[in-house]
Structure 1
Amino acid sequence: MAVPPRNAARITLHEVEMRKALILLSSIAVLASGAALAAEPKKKDDPSRMICEKQEVLGSRLASKRVCKTAGEWEAERRQDRQAIDKTQTQNNVRQ
């Protein structure tokens, strides 16, 4: 039977249990902080909050640009785009 060297670190059962408890408490603390952040009210209804989107540049597969606007500006742009599409579709149906 091999005898461990005298300077070898020995971990007692108590130390193992303490390490497990420390890891468990650390995990709980991390999860609790994440839950606290998630519980904060989000300002999705705020039309003045900034939203940035990455948009592809036409004519290039690699180039893109970052466009930042307020939520209200994005909503107005989407509404105008939808109206333009509806108008075009309505005009095309009338001609047929």
Structure 2
Amino acid sequence: MSTVKKTLTPHLPRQKRREVVENDEFAAFARRIIRAHGRRVATGDVEALRDLTALSADLDQAISEAVIGLRAFDYSWAEIGSRLGISRQAAQQRWGDRP
């Protein structure tokens, strides 16, 4: 007769909030890259237009992941909404239903 061992997933402690490092510079870099991509398409690279529009979906996904991550660090909807210039209710309605 074999015995079945049950494996319990240990509760992992919440991670500490990361110290803000170079986010302004990193965001500025990302904006420059996206604008450069737009200028490249504008010079006649019509094949790259689809890639440029796909960045919009990628950006939406990145924002969702960021909000979910901030919630995991116990940031409130009010704090998140404040940073986005929207109400806490609007932030919760937009991103609150996601796992």
Fold shared per TM-score above 0.5 = no
- Which structure: greater helix fraction? 2
Alignment TM-score, normalising by the size of structure 1: 0.29
- Which structure: greater strand fraction? 1
Alignment TM-score, normalising by the size of structure 2: 0.28
- Larger RCO (CA under 8 A, 6+ residues apart): 2
